[in-house]
Structure 1
Amino acid sequence: MAVAISAEGVRPAAAWGAVLSMALCVAMLIASEFMPVSLLTPMAEGLRATEGQTGQAISISGLFAVAASLFITTAAGKLNRKWVLVAMTALMLASLVLVAAAPNFAVLMIGRALLGICIGGFWALATAVIMRLVPERDVPKALALMYGGQAIAAAFAAPIGSYLGGMFGWRAVFWALTPIVALNLVWHMIALPSLPARQPQDFRAMLDLLKRPYFLRGLIASMLSWGSAFTMFTYLRPFLEQVTGVAVTMLSILLLVLGLAGFVGTWASGRFVRGNVAPLLKLPALLMGGCTLGLLLLGKSIVAAALFLAVWGAMNTAMSVIWMTWMSQNAEDAPEAAGSLMVAAIQSSILLGAVAGGLLLDHLSISATFIGSIVLAGAGIALIGSGRGLLKP
C-alpha cells in the first residue's frame, strides 16, 4: 500500500501495516464473538447443555466486554497503547484455545469471558489508536479499512463456520482460527509503532454525558435496538432448523445471504447517512423488528426466509453507522467518553439479547424468543419517536 504523506513529509508505510493489522484483529474478534451463533446446536450437544445455556456463551462475553470497555482506558492509563492492544490479542488467542479444548461448559464460559475482555478493551481504544497511526486527512480511509474487517467477518464467518462445523465438528472451527490470531499477534508487535499513553480518560466525563437527558435517552434506545437484534440473531440457527426446516448446507447459504447483504447496508449507510440523523434512528428497530415478525409468519418458506434475512442483514450493518453518526453529532465535546459508553451499551445489549432469548427458548419456544425480539424493537421505536428528543438542544 502506498505511504501516507503528511505535513512533516513521508509517513512510514508501517503505519498502514498497523491499520491492516487492526483490520485483521477486528475480523477475528467478530468471527470469534459470533461463531457460536452458527454452531449453537452442535456445541450444545457436545457439551451436554441446552441450546439456551450455550447461547449464554455470547452473553458472558458481552458482560465482560461491558466492564472492559468502561475500565480499560483508566486501568491502562499509563501503559503504551501498542502493548495494550498486543495483550488484548493474546487474550483472544487464549480464549480460542480454551473454547476449542473445553471439556465442559464451565471452561467454555471462562474462555468466552477472556474474549469479552479483549472485545471491550480493543473497541474502547481502536478509534483513538487509528487517529494516531495516520495523518488527520487519512483517518476516514483508515477507519474504513479497519471496519472492513468487521464486514468481511459478518459476511463469511457464520456460513463458513456452519459448513466446516458440519464437516469437521465445532471444535475444529475454533482451532482453525488460532493460527490466524497468532499471526495477527506477531503482526501487531512488528507493525504497530510505539503509542505512549496520553491523558487518561476521566470517569467524570462519562457521568456528565449520562446527566444529559437527550444522550441518556439515545443510549437506552440504541440498547433496545441492539437488544432486539441479538435476541433474534443469537438463536437464528434453531429457528431455521426447527421452523424453516433447513439442513447444514442450506443453513450456510441463508447465513451467507444475511452476511452479504451487510455489504449493501454498509454502502447505503455510507452514502445516505449524513446531516440530520433524527429520522433514521428508528429505522433499524422498525425494519429489523418487521423482518423478525415476517419470519414468524412466513418463516416456513425458504424463499421468504432468505428475503427477510437479506433485509435484516443490510439493516444490521447500517445500524452501527446510524447510531455512531448520532453519537458524533451529539457528544462531539466528549468523543472518547461517548465512545466508551456506546461500546458498553452495545455489549450490554448483546448480553440482554442472549440471556432473554435463551430463557424464552428453554422455557417456552423459539417463537417466544422471536416475539421477545419484536417486543424490544417496539419499545425502542416508542422511545425514539420522531428522533428529535434524542438530539442536543
Structure 2
Amino acid sequence: MTDIASARGPAEPTIAVQAPPAERARWTAVFSLSFGVFGLVTAEFLPVSLLTPIAAELDVSNGTAGQAITATAVVAAIAGPLLVLGSGRLDRRLIVWVLMALLVVSGILSARAASVFELLLARGLLGFALGGFWAMMTALALRLVPPADVPRAISIIIMGVSAATVCAAPLGAALGELWGWRATFLAASGLGAVALLVQLAALPSLPATAAPGLSAFGAALSHRGILIGLGTVILVVSGHFAGLTFIRPFLEEVPRLNAATVSLALLAFGVGGFAGNVAGGAVAARSPALAAGSAAVLVTAAALALILFGPVAEFAFAATALWGFAFGAFPVSVSIWNARAAPELAESSGALLSSSFQVAIASGAMIGGLLIDGLGPTGVIVYAALAVVAGAGVMLVLGRAAERRRAAAA
C-alpha cells in the first residue's frame, strides 16, 4: 500500500521487521481473530451495563465503579508497545493464544472480586490482553491476507467489536438482572475460552522475521499520517468513552428509562454500531479520512441531541442508536487509515494506535467519572460532544488535505 500523507518517516534498516505479506488469504484465521476481539470487547464493555449493581454491591459511587474501565485502558495503553518490543522472534500465533487465556483468567477473577481494588486488578489483566491484541491486529491482517484484501480483513476483525457492542451492553444488563453481575463476568470468561479453542484450530504459524526495536517506534512517531490518526483517536475516543461509560446513569436519570428500556436502548446502540462498522468499512476503503471524520461528526450530533432533548424518552432512545451507528464506523476507518499510512511499520504503528485508544478510553472514563460525580450525567455528554467534534476537525481538515496531496501526487 502507498502512503496516505505527505512524506514518509525516515527509512531505516530496523523498520523492515515484518514478515512478507500473505500470498493467499486465510479467511478462517481472520474470522477467528474477529471472534477473539468479540470476546475481549464484550468483557471490556461489561462494566457499562453493570455499573449500577457493581457500585451498589462494592459500596462505591458510580464514578468510582466506572474506573473498572479506566484500569483496563491504562494497562492496555502500556501493554501494546511493551508486548511489541518484548515479543522478539516469538511466533505471533502463540502470543495471541496467551492473550486470550488472560481474558479467561480476568473474567474469573472479576467474578470473585470482594472489593473495587480486586476488581481493578482483574480488569488490569484484561487490559494487557486487549492492548496486546490491538497492537498486533494490523500486522496480523497484513500477514494473513494479500495487500489488496487488508481493508476487508481489518473490517472483518473489527466487526467483532461491532458484534460485541450489539451483545455486550444489552446482554450484560439483562444477565446482570437475571444472574447478577458476578455470573455475567463468568459468562464472559467462558466466551473467551471458546474463542481460544477456535484460534487454536484456525491460526497458522506466524513466525516473526526480526524483533521490532525502538527505532521503529521513532519512525512511526515522525510519520505525519500516523500522527494525524493518533491525534484524532485521542480526541474522539476520549469523548466517546466519557459518554458511553456513564450512558446507563444518564438514561436512568434524565429520560428516566426503566431497566428493561435501558437494555433496549443499549441494544439499539449495539445494532447501530454493527451497521456503522459495515458502512464505515465501505467508505474507508475509498477515503479513510472522510469515513473517520464523518463518524465523529455523527457522534457529536447524537451527543447534542441527548443534551437538548434527553428528557424526552423517544429522542434519547433515537440519539443512543445514532451514537452507536456513528462510533461503529470509527475504529475500522481509523485502523484502515493507519494501515495505509505505513504498512512497513505495522507492529510499531499498531502498538501506538492501540495505546492511543486506551489512553483515550482511560482519560475519557476518568474525566467522565469526575464530571458525573460533580455535574451529573448531562455534564459528561457535554464533554463528549466537545472532544469528539475537535477530533472530527483534525481528520476532516488535516487528514483530507493529506489524502488530496496523495491523490495529486499519484
What is the TM-score of this pair, normalised by structure 2? 0.86
Contact 2:302–2:323 (8 Å) recurs in 1: yes
Residue 75 of structure 1 aligns to which amino acid in structure 2? Answer: G
| 1:347 and 2:358 are equivalent in the alignment | yes
1:223 aligns with 2:234: yes
Corresponding position of 2:308: 297
Distance 1:326 1:16 in 2: 21
Report whether the alignment pairs 1:377 with 2:388. yes
**What is residue 338 of structure 2 aligned with on the other side?**
327
Find the residue that maps to 1:267 and give its secondary structure. Answer: helix
Query: Is 1:35 equivalent to 2:43 in the alignment?
Result: no
Q: CA deviation at 1:339?
A: 1.7
1:48-80 deviations in whole A, cap 9, x for unaligned? Answer: 111101111101111111111112122111222
Give the whole-Å Cα distance in 2 for the aligned partners of 1:217 and 1:71.
Answer: 23
Cα distance in 2 between the residues matched to 1:268 and 1:18: 23
Asked if structure 2 preserves the Cα contact closer than 8 Å seen for 1:227 and 1:373, the reply is: yes
Question: 187-196 or 351-360: which moved more?
Answer: 187-196
CA distance in 2, matches of 1:19, 1:328: 16
Deviation string for 1:327-363 (max 9, x for gaps)? Answer: 2343344333222211111111101110000011122
Deviation at 1:168, TM superposition (A): 1.6
Deviation at 1:117, TM superposition (A): 0.3
Are residues 149 and 377 of structure 1, via their aligned partners in 2, closer, same or farther at CA, if it must alter by over 3 Å? closer
Aligned to 2:124: 113
Separation in structure 1 between the aligned mates of residue 392 and residue 31 of structure 2, nearest angstrom:
37
Cα distance in 2 for residues equivalent to 1:146 and 1:276 = 19
Q: Is 2:4 the counterpart of 1:22? A: no
Q: 1:81 maps to what in 2?
A: 92
1:249 aligns with 2:237: no
Greater CA drift, 332-341 or 227-236: 332-341
Deviation at 1:213, TM superposition (A): 4.8
Show CA shifts across 1:219-264 (max 9, x none): 2222101111111111100000111111111011001111111222
Q: Distance in 1 between matches of 2:335 and 2:190?
A: 32
How big is the shift at 1:39? 0.7
CA shift, 1:193, in A, is: 3.0
Alignment of 1:1-393 (within 5 A): 16-133=27-144, 142-213=153-224, 215-384=226-395, 386-388=397-399, 391=402
Partners of 2:292 and 2:150 lie apart in 1 by: 25
**Counterpart of 2:237 in structure 1: which amino acid?**
W
Residue 174 to residue 191, structure 1, CA distance change in 2 (3 Å): same
Structure 1 partner of 2:7: none
Q: Which has the higher contact order (CA 8 A, sep 6+)?
A: 2
Q: Which residue of 2 is the match for residue 3 of structure 1? A: none
Gaps of 5+ in 2: 1-21, 406-410
Range with bigger deviation, 87-96 or 366-375: 366-375
8 Å contact 1:214–1:389 — kept in the other structure? no
Counterpart of 2:84, as a letter, is T
- Structure 1 residues without counterparts, runs of 5 or longer: 1-5
Change over 3 Å in CA distance of 1:295–1:276 after alignment to 2: same
- State the AA in 1 paired with 2:111: A
Tell me, in whole angstroms, the C-alpha distance in 2 between the residues paired with 1:319 and 1:347: 15
Q: Deviations over 1:115-162 (max 9, x none)?
A: 000001112223333443456666555444433322211111110110
Distance change in 2, residues 1:219/1:144 (3 Å): closer
Listed one character per residue, the Cα deviations across residues 274-314 of structure 1 (whole Å, up to 9, x for unaligned) are 44444454323322122112102211122101211122111
CA deviations 1:158-216 (Å, max 9, x no partner) are 10110111122111111122222223333333433333222222222222232345543
Out of 302-311 and 34-43, give the one that drifted further: 302-311
**Worse overlay, 78-87 or 282-291:** 282-291
Equivalent residues of 2:251, 2:262 under 8 A apart: yes
The whole-number CA distance in structure 2 between the counterparts of 1:270 and 1:341 is 21
Q: Which residue of 1 aligns with 2:14?
A: none
Contact preservation (8 Å) 1:279, 1:386 = no
- Change in 2 beyond 3 A, CA 1:288/1:142: closer
| Greater Cα shift, 155-164 or 336-345 | 336-345
Contact 1:97 1:178 in 2 (8 A): yes
- TM-score, reference length from structure 1: 0.89
User: Percent sequence identity over matched residues?
Assistant: 34
Give the match's secondary structure for 1:79: coil
Cα separation, 1, equivalents of 2:330 and 2:40: 19
Runs of 4 or more consecutive aligned structure 1 residues displaced over 6 Å after TM superposition: none
Name the CA distance, whole Å, in 1 between partners of 2:253 and 2:310. Answer: 10
Are the structure 2 counterparts of residues 327 and 20 from structure 1 closer, same or farther at C-alpha, using a change threshold of 3 Å? Answer: closer
